[in-house]
Each structure stands twice: as structure tokens, then as C-alpha cells.
Amino acid sequence: MPQLFSPATLRGVTLRNRTVVAPMCQYSAKDGFATDWHLVHLGRFAIGGFGLVILEATGVVPEGRISYGDLGLWKDEHIPALARIVQFIQSQGAAAGIQLAHAGRKASTPVPWRNGFDETEAEKHAIGFESWTPVGPSPLIHAENRNFTKPTELDDAGIAHIIEAFAAAAVRANQAGFDTVEIHAAHGYLLNQFLSPLANRRTDRYGGSRENRMRLVLEVAEAVRAVWPMDKPLLVRLSVSDHHPDGWQTEDSVVLARELKALGVDAVDCSSGGFDGASIKTGPAYQVPLAKAVRDGADIPVMAVGLLGGDPKADDALIAKGHTDFIALARGALDDPNWPQHAQQALGITDYDLWPNQTKRVKEWQRVMSAIAE
């Protein structure tokens, strides 16, 4: 059995294989509510055989959304639509996760396929348009002239409110039936902003030393773990490196991952970057060395992401060699929602166990096409 398709257990949750759909923002919600788009978009990955499907960055407070089109979980009314998605994902044999997020100073930005904030007055009500002044660890704008807004610096009360909001969202996620939650501390969003000296210029207990800059992430993790069921795993997504000489470094992430593990975090989703001025050299599996560094340095399971999925044999080898425990796809999953099923065939597995009964007729089609080709 290829390692990519071996089951994996985190606490009381067993994933059918090591393939993961990484969170991908859809910018298609109104007032935070999931829609039929989200059901179909996410459901196809479960049908396609992935082991874990993680929903997009979901705002724990309204002002924590990247845009007005983001999902939310700041009120109980959001639960039923999410529960419908969870139930479908699970009915197809996959586990369902949700990424809890606060965008910080990168909040209140335009929906990416629009030309900035170009909504007409007629459109604004129909699509739930909102804009607001974001918050951050320090009053530093993410980048000039790129639709970002200078944030208001969070005070102690504001920080306490955000910690409480993450915990409250985790309670709602459990009520919706999710198998796991992932705390978003990557890509230059709020928790990553507190970690990085590029965004955090505070002089109080949340700024300055690495220990102080880690404080908020650890407090959020502790608060979420306290309310999240003990038999369900807790994940954290980190930008392992800012890819900037003055920013957060890989060795910092190793230290943080050790602290997160001690608090009951079960795996780290390893990405990178997120700040203006970063220098990132991309290529196939370019972030895998970051995942391996965290796995080796903190002795914790990791997910690797970033231009994976092009070669299932190479992805399987990454797991077999101990570089990562899970392979996570985002754009690759969009390109091929049935990637696990196709990867199985590439690795010599021909029993079609990941294909739903409704689609197993493809086996007969492939047999006929092979016979024609011969």
C-alpha cells in the first residue's frame, strides 16, 4: 500500500488517506453565510476521494474577514448551512475541517476578481458589500496603494475579544459537526502579524521578544483546545518562514510548534510567506523542506502544501521518507477534484475503492477505451 493512501489517525479521527484539500477562499458568502456554491465546491472533493477537506478562512468576527465575501462563524445562525456541508463531506467518506481566521490588517480588501471596490450602489445590497477599518498588532499598513487600509492598533480588550471569538467559533464548529478545526496563523494575517517583526512593533507583552510575539497564537490555541472536544484533533497553519531577512524564520516556527504541541495541537499545516517584500523562489514541492524542518524539530505531524500533486509517486515518496505526513492541495485540487482517485491509479491501486458507487462505471469505460487503443 503506498503511504499516500494509508490511513492516518489524529486523536479520535481516522482519515482514510493522507490527501488533504487546503483552505481556499471563495469570496462567495453574504454576511458570512455558506451557500450552495460552497456545498458543491467542497462536496466534489469528498466525492473525489480526499481524506480531509478543510473549508476556507472563516472569520471569527465580522471585521476579521479578508473581504465581505468570506465565510463567517461569529454567530449561531451560521451553523446550519455549514452543518449541511459537513454532513455531505462525511457521507462521502472524507473528514471535514474548517479554518478559523482573523485577517487583521489585511481585512476589508476587495473581492479579488473585481477591479478594486468597484461595486455599484445597486450591487452592494445584493452581494452584502461591507468595508471597515481593520485592526492589527501595530498601526502599520500592509502595503501602500494596493487596496489595504492602515489598521487601528489592538489594545488589551481587543486582543481578549479576539481570543474569546476564536474559542466561540470553535464551539460553533463542533456544533456544526466538523471533525477538526485549523487555527490560521499564516499568510500575513492577524496571528502571523503578531508573530512577525515585520508587522509587530509593540512594546508590551505581545511584542518585542519572540516569546512575547508568540503569546497571542499560544493563547488562542489554548483557548480553542479548552473548548474543542478532546477526541478531535486541532491543527494550526503557520507561515514557517516570512521569506524576509527581517521577518519570522524557520527556527522560530520550530520553537513555536513545540509550544503548540505542548498545548494539545496535533498537526501543523506548513505554508510560508504573506508579507510585502518577501522573496520566495517557487517550484515543485518548494515548501516541503519547511514542513520537514518543523516535523523533525518539533516532533509533530505536518502537512506539506505548495505546488504538489504533479507527480503522485513523488508525493508518496515524501511521506515514505518522513518529509511530511500529509499532502495538501489547493489549486491542484481545483484543477482535478478527483486527484486522489487518479493518483491511486498512477500508484498501481486499481480496486476503485475511492470511487462512489455512482461513478464506478468509469472502470468499465476505461477498460473499453484501453481495448480500443490496443
Residue 186 has pLDDT above 80, yes or no: yes
User: Residue 60 half-sphere exposure, CB side, CA atoms within 13 Å?
Assistant: 29
What pLDDT is attached to residue 358? 87
- Residue 351: predicted pLDDT: 85
Q: With 0-12 CB in 10 A as exposed, 13-18 as middle and 19+ as buried, what is 346?
A: middle
What DSSP element (H or E) covers 329?
strand 326-329
Residue 265 to residues 178, 218, 372: CA-CA distances in angstroms?
16, 10, 52
Separation of CA 201 from chain center: 26
CB within 8 Å of 183: residues ≥ 6 apart: 99, 100, 166, 191, 217, 220, 221, 224, 234, 235, 236, 237
Number of structural domains (the chain) is: 1
Instruction: Give the tens place of pLDDT for each residue, 332-347.
Output: 999 999 999 999 999 9
Q: What is the pLDDT of residues 233-268, one digit of tens each?
A: 999 999 999 999 999 999 999 999 999 999 999 999
Mean pLDDT on 185-208: 98
The pLDDT tens digits of the residues spanning 308-334 come to 999 999 999 999 999 999 999 999 999
pLDDT at residue 283 is higher than 80: yes
Integer Cα distance of 119 and 102 in angstroms: 24
Selection from 221, 173, 169, 234 nearest residue 195 by Cα:
221
Say if CB 234 and CB 224 are below 8 A apart. yes
261 or 351, which is more confident? 261
Confidence at residue 109, expressed as pLDDT on a 0 to 100 scale: 97
Element (H, E) at 255: helix 250-262
pLDDT computed for residue 15 by the predictor? 98
How many CB atoms are located within 10 Å of the residue 19 CB? 30
The pLDDT, as a whole number, for residue 363 is: 74
Q: What's 291's domain CATH number?
A: 3.20.20.70
Residue 374 has pLDDT above 90, yes or no: no
Average pLDDT, the chain: 96
Over residues 130-145, mean pLDDT: 96
Quick: pLDDT tens for 5-18. 999 999 999 999 99
Q: What is the mean pLDDT of residues 159-176?
A: 98
Longest pairwise C-alpha distance within the chain: 72
| Confidence at 373, pLDDT banded by 50, 70, 90 | confident
**Which of 27, 68, 189, 206 does the annotation list as catalytic?**
189
Residue 216's pLDDT band, with cuts at 50, 70 and 90, is: very high
Across the range 80-103, mean pLDDT stands at: 98
- What band does 365 get if pLDDT is binned at 50, 70 and 90? confident
pLDDT digits (tens, 9 = 90+) for 18-29: 999 999 999 999
Segments forming the whole domain that contains residue 257 = 3-373
Examine the pLDDT at 210 and tell me if it is beyond 80. Answer: yes
In degrees rounded to 5, what are phi and psi of residue 351? -90, -5
Residue 112 is predicted with a pLDDT of 93
* Catalytic residue check, 189: yes
pTM (two decimals): 0.96
**Cell, residue 319:** 511521506
Handedness of CA 168, 173, 176, 177 (dihedral sign): negative
Q: pLDDT at position 38, please?
A: 98
- What's the rounded Cα separation, in Å, for the pair 220 and 226? 10
Q: What is the DSSP letter of 151?
A: P
